[in-house]
Chains A and B, each alone.
Chain A
Amino acid sequence: MLRERFCHQKIPGKPFGVESQHKIFNICSTHIRMEDDSNANVLVPSHDKAIPGDRSSSRPVVFILDEFDLFAHHKNQTLLYNLFDVSQSAQTPVAVIGLTCRLDVLELLEKRVKSRFSHRQIHLLSSFRFKQYLEIFKMQLSLPEDFTDRRFAEEWNQNIKSLCEDRSVEDVLQKHFCSSKDFRSLHMLLMLALSRVTVSHPAIKPTDLLEASRLCTMDSKANILHGLSVLELCLIIAMKHLSDIYDGEPFNFQMVHNEFQKFIQRKSHSVHNFEKPVVIKAFEHLHQLELIKPMEGPSVRTQKEYQLVKLLLDNSQIMDALQKYPQCPTDVKQWATSAFG
């Protein structure tokens, strides 16, 4: 009973712990940050006290401009100009800290604004190695000392420790580390793994992590392809052929339909000859799934059949999906692999 309660507490409690730890991290350490690369422009840092006169009377004000680059897009950059100007004049002491992930943010500033900028830049880059990454992983998952159920916390932490030494876990993390160093993706992974923890399954197992990793790295479009009907799949293949023939030029429904008809008439044995409205419906479904994308905006009113579209799938994705597609008719597969329609 007690255990169950703690476990339930733990599940919501854990992500919170992760978040708060992460927050502290952000503040304390300069080299770890969720953005892999954050470029903080610090103006007049801590110098307010030394600034004379009037400034002695009024409390220094610190402005933090997150997504600093977007402020630079405001008209004439008046906000930045004025903030910088105040920070450079003997008025109320002001420190302006801009946060951005753009490395080229200075090029966005107008020259008179740039001239007023102090050119203090702090680049927070995640330059750590895999070993540190592992440490971070461990730290993020560990429960604090003052956790309510001490025994559970000890067990949990012990489990995490062993988890770090597990070979497969390390592989998962290594792969994750390769693809991205930032914290947000790590948290994503850990959240997915944590969500598998239940009362009956009180600890994270390496398989949980593997599963989480699989979820993380899944190709979303390939997943969608698995859920398509054979007709839709046929249309996709027809489109693939069209893309190959015309070297990525856009095509319209009529072309796709013609291609599909050719296939039906010449090779198909298993696929029905669907009525045209049915094919159109399937085509529209693909559109809704954003597997195809119209070239013109929605404002352009052309007849549905002749609207130019492009396929948003790579050949490799289509082939992979076909391999995994359950009970895919062989003639469809053959059609897909054949060079030209």
Chain B
Amino acid sequence: MSRYFTRLKKRRVYSWIGGPSFIDRKLKHMFYEGLCIKTDGNTNTGCIRPGHYILIEGDEDRSYVAKLLKLYDDGTGTRSSKHAEVQWFVRFHEVPQNKRKRLGRDPHPNEVFLYEIPNCDSDIDAETIITTVQVQHLEENSPFPAAQSQENSLYVKLSWDGKSFSPVNLDLLLQSGGKPVLPASSHTDSLPKPDLDVSRGLAVDSPSRPTRSARQQHSSTSKYSQSKELSDRQPSNVISTPTARKKLQLSNSVKPPGSKLTRDDVLAELLDEDRAVSSLEAEVTRRRALASKPSSSPSKKPRDLCISLSPIRGGQITQDHQLANGTQIGPRLQPEELVKRTLKRESRAESTEGETPSKRKDSIKIDAPLDILIEDGGEVGGPVVAVTPRSRRKSAQVSSARIQQQLNYLNRKQSTDFDVDDDEEDVFLPTKKDLKSSSEEESESVTGRRGSRSAVPRTPRSSRKAPSRTPAKTPNKTPRRTPSKTPVPRTPRTPRHATPSIPSRTQPTRKPGNVLEEARARLHVSSVPESLPCREQEFQDIFNFVESKVMDGTGGCMYISGVPGTGKTATVHEVIRCLHHAAEQDELPSFCFIEINGMKMTAPHQAYVQILQMLTGQKATAEHAAALLEKRFSTPAPKRETTVLLVDELDLLWTRKQNVMYNLFDWPTRRQAKLVVLAIANTMDLPERIMINRVASRLGLTRMSFQPYSYKQLQQIITSRLNRVRAFEDDALQLVSRKVAALSGDARRCLDICRRATEICEFSSQRSGSGLVAMSHVMEALDEMFSSPYITAIRCASVQEQIFLKAVIAEFRRLGLEEATFQQVFRQHLALCRVEGLSPVCMSEGLTTCLRLGACRLLLLESSHRDLHLRVRLNVSQDDVLYALKEG
């Protein structure tokens, strides 16, 4: 990773070069040709022009790389009025850690990747620009130059779209690569005709409009905000005053000028020709309004709804220099999608017409559906939202349907994963597997098969732990997981560091042999079931909450409370699993999930260290980590994906000044943080009880409490876990669930009892027939777990111990108190010995007896150095003691 370009600490002075080259009167934006940077104590000034590659102040002392597209001033006159429009590049270390493996090789220290993730904010404060930098495009297979000599140049080979690395479109890079291209240099292009109102043509031409729009919206990962901003501030060198002409730009259709005509282009061109010059003025204004609206919910809007408006300038608009520089690179399109988009494509083929450099074509791209929408619904924003198939506030049915769909997906997946790919097993596992069939299949790879089969319930967990697993999934990995790759239980997230590993077992795990063993395996708490019954509503609420935040790219907090064993953590994990799945299917922007647990840290401040390490892989002290995180969450980083942070056992993060909790809840409120915090604790009133006001206020009121399970729910949980394995009598199940529901409603306890009951059943059925767990077995298990051991313990005590207990009670009665000194009790003890006809014991013996009773906590004692005067109390009720002694 390159750390060469650390941030300049010197103060820099920024000034525009020359006057505004173009003024957007509507937005009061003034576009400039260049920016002059003067560093203190340095006489030479650097000039930056659109097309240059630049370094931008970043977080963690690493600068960002980007290509400058436009420079403009928003006219507010404030210090941060200078803005720049950029195309981002990412360095390797900015790629989320769990996805770095996908590069498949070691990155060159000076390597950068074209950033193709949509909907990232490409508008930056121009005063964060540090300097220019060289970026060279290399062929994918060509070696990196021996670059040590040239520290200041970066290389780009691949592009990164948030999921995978792919070769950069050569055309684009040829346009954009190499030396900075000045806007007005060679690529002058123009539209053959003035832009037409696409809507008209399309409204007629495309009968399949609704489906198309739906599909486009489906892949709603548009660079909406970016393109919108682009449209807001058209930088141009155009001298002519803008006329009232609109320009709609489809941000993702990037065609380098001069490239060959594709079918798409031709089609698009045809469409263009159909456009009427005099477009609907009303629409223009409306669209302009839309475009200039603040980016309230950019990610939600489909890409194709992005409209860039700009004044019409005599048919030529200076847009294509951006395009020529390959800066507006939308998400890579799938081939079929390309075809679908043809209608909206705009041809750039004739862009090299004899136009003056300053006069550029005004590209208009209008999505047909949008126009329809605009025409139909008077208000622009409303219908757009309405059509979005996945509106944020989905109804419960919709998302539960999707959950169902995912389950189906997993089911489908199972058959392929099962034998083909061991690596895949980690991520997608069959949810249900007929045990019989699996056991009858080939015995060749017993362990492997079992791994896949038995791993079924683990699915959510494994996908959740994808980051830790990825390193193990190298292609050269042996099919069977080797023991050394098994992470140590409590350091699952640091696989890259050498961790001590647990040796492999010498024998393969035994398969559950009979129904009871199978049931026991299923009832183990660790085996996560296919679904979480009885928590549908909570699931839905959390799901909606996180999903909306992820989609909006905003932050938020949620507090989840509930007594232990009510499925809080499991539900959140399930939600994350579903969201991850959705993200994989492009229904959601990708996000990263971090989990910390107050119980798994030695001190509250370790939270910072853990979060930082999981976010960036860096190791730092708590203080340093806090500073780095603070910086990270407060500096704008448009490329950052949303972080979902699960804070389990929140109450343990309490400190006297509460600064850990304060920060955890303060970060999500920052605009740039994109942090969603889900805090889990046991008590409902935790915010009121232990948090000071400013912390509680930041936590907000998004709360959820998990009620203890009722007996019906517990019953349902067991039944769903058993999943057709018939091991329990119905009555027995009901008894367990009623008993547990009456006590605590703790599902873990319920499962434990059931497991114990199966053991008892198994043990007894070795002697006598029936294999089902019956009432008697459950009763026995309940007795074992809930009966107090005191009475048995008293009965098994020695005679002297029993007499001592009697003496204690006698002395209590005499004193009328619940406390006596050893001396007093011992006198009673001697008297009782005489009554019982036993030889009296000496003081030393009496004291040992007393201490022995104290050790097993039948008595509560002071520390024994008080000798005669140590005070004695009973830890059991007097009645219990008397009862136990009477029987014995």
Q: CB-CB < 8 A to B855: which residues of A?
A: 101-102
Q: Does A221 contact B (CB under 8 A)?
A: yes
Interface residue from A56, A101, A120 paired with B451 (Cβ < 8 Å): A56
A219 to B843, CA, bound (A): 6
Evaluate contact between B599 and A78: CB separation under 8 angstroms: yes
With contacts A54-B486, A103-B793, A111-B564 taken as known, whether A220 is within 8 angstroms of B502 at the C-beta atoms is no
Interface residue from B455, B752, B868 paired with A313 (Cβ < 8 Å): B868
Q: CB-CB < 8 A to B510: which residues of A?
A: 49-50
Smallest CB-CB separation from B488: which chain A residue? A92
Evaluate contact between A56 and B509: CB separation under 8 angstroms: yes
Evaluate contact between A76 and B502: CB separation under 8 angstroms: no
Interface residues in A65-120 by Cβ distance below 8 A to B read 76, 78, 81-82, 85-86, 88-92, 94, 101-104, 111-112, 114-116, 118-120
Q: Does B149 contact A (CB under 8 A)?
A: no
Interface residues in B842-888 by Cβ distance below 8 A to A read 842-845, 848-849, 852, 855-858, 866-869, 875
- Residue-wise interface mask of B (500-535) relative to A, using a CB-CB cutoff of 8 A (1 in contact, 0 not): 011111101110100001001100111110000000
Evaluate contact between A112 and B841: CB separation under 8 angstroms: no
Q: Does A195 contact B (CB under 8 A)?
A: no
Evaluate contact between B602 and A78: CB separation under 8 angstroms: yes
Evaluate contact between B528 and A59: CB separation under 8 angstroms: no
Evaluate contact between B849 and A103: CB separation under 8 angstroms: no
Identify which of B447, B504, B520, B855 gathers the most chain A CB atoms within 10 Å of its CB: B855
Smallest CB-CB separation from A222: which chain B residue? B842
Evaluate contact between A179 and B798: CB separation under 8 angstroms: yes
Segment from B352-360, B552-560, B782-790 that makes contact with A = B782-790
A81 to B482, CA, bound (A): 28
Q: CB-CB < 8 A to B564: which residues of A?
A: 111-112, 114-116
A111 to B749, CA, bound (A): 12
Segment from A14-22, A121-129, A135-143, A299-307 that makes contact with B = A121-129
A123 to B744, CA, bound (A): 24
Q: Does A157 contact B (CB under 8 A)?
A: no
Q: CB-CB < 8 A to B756: which residues of A?
A: 119-120
Q: CB-CB < 8 A to A219: which residues of B?
A: 842-845
Interface residue from A39, A101, A182, A312 paired with B868 (Cβ < 8 Å): A312
Q: CB-CB < 8 A to A178: which residues of B?
A: 798-800, 838
Identify which of B524, B600, B801, B848 gathers the most chain A CB atoms within 10 Å of its CB: B524
Q: Does B145 contact A (CB under 8 A)?
A: no
Evaluate contact between A52 and B527: CB separation under 8 angstroms: yes
A169 to B509, CA, bound (A): 54
Distance between A17 CB and nearest chain B CB, rounded to angstroms: 26
Q: CB-CB < 8 A to B826: which residues of A?
A: 314
Evaluate contact between B521 and A119: CB separation under 8 angstroms: no
Main secondary structure of the interface of A (DSSP, over half): mixed
Evaluate contact between A115 and B842: CB separation under 8 angstroms: no
Identify which of A52, A82, A88, A221 gathers the most chain B CB atoms within 10 Å of its CB: A52
A86 to B487, CA, bound (A): 12
Evaluate contact between A103 and B505: CB separation under 8 angstroms: no
Q: Does A177 contact B (CB under 8 A)?
A: yes
Evaluate contact between B458 and A92: CB separation under 8 angstroms: no
Q: Does B267 contact A (CB under 8 A)?
A: no
Q: CB-CB < 8 A to B800: which residues of A?
A: 178-180
Identify which of A57, A104, A127, A316 gathers the most chain B CB atoms within 10 Å of its CB: A57
Q: Does A333 contact B (CB under 8 A)?
A: no
With contacts A82-B600, A116-B748 taken as known, whether A52 is within 8 angstroms of B454 at the C-beta atoms is yes
Q: Does A293 contact B (CB under 8 A)?
A: yes
Evaluate contact between B844 and A59: CB separation under 8 angstroms: no
Chain A interface residue bracket vs B: 35 or more
Q: CB-CB < 8 A to B799: which residues of A?
A: 177-179
Q: Does A287 contact B (CB under 8 A)?
A: no
Evaluate contact between A293 and B867: CB separation under 8 angstroms: yes
Evaluate contact between B792 and A125: CB separation under 8 angstroms: yes
Q: Does B565 contact A (CB under 8 A)?
A: yes
With contacts A47-B524, A112-B682 taken as known, whether A181 is within 8 angstroms of B798 at the C-beta atoms is yes
Smallest CB-CB separation from A53: which chain B residue? B455
With contacts A119-B749, A125-B796 taken as known, whether A53 is within 8 angstroms of B857 at the C-beta atoms is no
Interface residues in A288-341 by Cβ distance below 8 A to B read 290, 293, 310, 312-314, 316-317
Q: CB-CB < 8 A to B563: which residues of A?
A: 111
Evaluate contact between B849 and A179: CB separation under 8 angstroms: yes
Evaluate contact between B486 and A50: CB separation under 8 angstroms: no
Interface residue from B481, B785, B798 paired with A121 (Cβ < 8 Å): B785
Identify which of A119, A182, A290 gathers the most chain B CB atoms within 10 Å of its CB: A119
Smallest CB-CB separation from B446: which chain A residue? A56
Smallest CB-CB separation from A310: which chain B residue? B869
Evaluate contact between A91 and B844: CB separation under 8 angstroms: no
Evaluate contact between B856 and A175: CB separation under 8 angstroms: no
Interface residues in A146-185 by Cβ distance below 8 A to B read 175, 177-182
Interface residue from B450, B456, B505, B753 paired with A58 (Cβ < 8 Å): B505
Q: CB-CB < 8 A to B451: which residues of A?
A: 52-53, 56-57
Distance between B729 CB and nearest chain A CB, rounded to angstroms: 22
Q: Does A24 contact B (CB under 8 A)?
A: no
Evaluate contact between A112 and B599: CB separation under 8 angstroms: yes
Distance between B517 CB and nearest chain A CB, rounded to angstroms: 6
Evaluate contact between A60 and B682: CB separation under 8 angstroms: no
Smallest CB-CB separation from B746: which chain A residue? A115
Evaluate contact between B785 and A82: CB separation under 8 angstroms: no
Q: CB-CB < 8 A to A293: which residues of B?
A: 866-867
Q: CB-CB < 8 A to B508: which residues of A?
A: 56
Interface residue from A49, A90, A316 paired with B509 (Cβ < 8 Å): A49
Interface residues in B403-456 by Cβ distance below 8 A to A read 447, 450-451, 453-456
Distance between A334 CB and nearest chain B CB, rounded to angstroms: 24
Q: Does B461 contact A (CB under 8 A)?
A: yes
Evaluate contact between A91 and B489: CB separation under 8 angstroms: yes
With contacts A78-B599, A112-B564 taken as known, whether A221 is within 8 angstroms of B843 at the C-beta atoms is yes
- Residue-wise interface mask of B (798-835) relative to A, using a CB-CB cutoff of 8 A (1 in contact, 0 not): 11110000000000000000000001001100100000
Interface residue from B602, B790, B796, B830 paired with A126 (Cβ < 8 Å): B796
Distance between B99 CB and nearest chain A CB, rounded to angstroms: 22
Distance between A310 CB and nearest chain B CB, rounded to angstroms: 6
A256 to B7, CA, bound (A): 82
Q: CB-CB < 8 A to B600: which residues of A?
A: 78, 81-82
Q: Does A199 contact B (CB under 8 A)?
A: no
Evaluate contact between A50 and B506: CB separation under 8 angstroms: no
Q: CB-CB < 8 A to A56: which residues of B?
A: 447, 450-451, 454, 505, 508-509
Q: CB-CB < 8 A to A120: which residues of B?
A: 752, 756, 784-785
Distance between A39 CB and nearest chain B CB, rounded to angstroms: 7
Q: Does A217 contact B (CB under 8 A)?
A: yes
Smallest CB-CB separation from B855: which chain A residue? A101
With contacts A90-B461, A314-B823 taken as known, whether A51 is within 8 angstroms of B524 at the C-beta atoms is yes
Evaluate contact between B504 and A91: CB separation under 8 angstroms: no
Q: CB-CB < 8 A to B490: which residues of A?
A: 82, 86
Evaluate contact between B785 and A115: CB separation under 8 angstroms: no
Evaluate contact between B458 and A58: CB separation under 8 angstroms: no
Distance between B758 CB and nearest chain A CB, rounded to angstroms: 10
With contacts A50-B517, A89-B526 taken as known, whether A39 is within 8 angstroms of B844 at the C-beta atoms is no
With contacts A49-B509, A118-B752 taken as known, whether A175 is within 8 angstroms of B852 at the C-beta atoms is no
Evaluate contact between B849 and A180: CB separation under 8 angstroms: yes
Q: Does A64 contact B (CB under 8 A)?
A: no
With contacts A59-B502, A90-B526, A103-B789 taken as known, whether A180 is within 8 angstroms of B848 at the C-beta atoms is yes
Q: Does B457 contact A (CB under 8 A)?
A: yes
Smallest CB-CB separation from B866: which chain A residue? A293
Listed A/B pairs (19) with beta-carbon separation below 8 Å: A49-B510, A50-B521, A51-B527, A52-B457, A54-B455, A54-B486, A57-B505, A58-B503, A59-B505, A81-B600, A86-B490, A90-B457, A123-B789, A178-B798, A180-B852, A220-B844, A293-B867, A314-B843, A317-B843
Which 5 residue pairs spanning A and B have beta carbons closest together? A52-B454, A115-B564, A219-B842, A53-B455, A125-B796
Identify 9 new A-B residue pairs, CB closer than 8 A, beyond the known A50-B509, A101-B855.
A50-B524, A57-B505, A82-B599, A89-B525, A90-B458, A116-B564, A126-B796, A222-B843, A312-B869
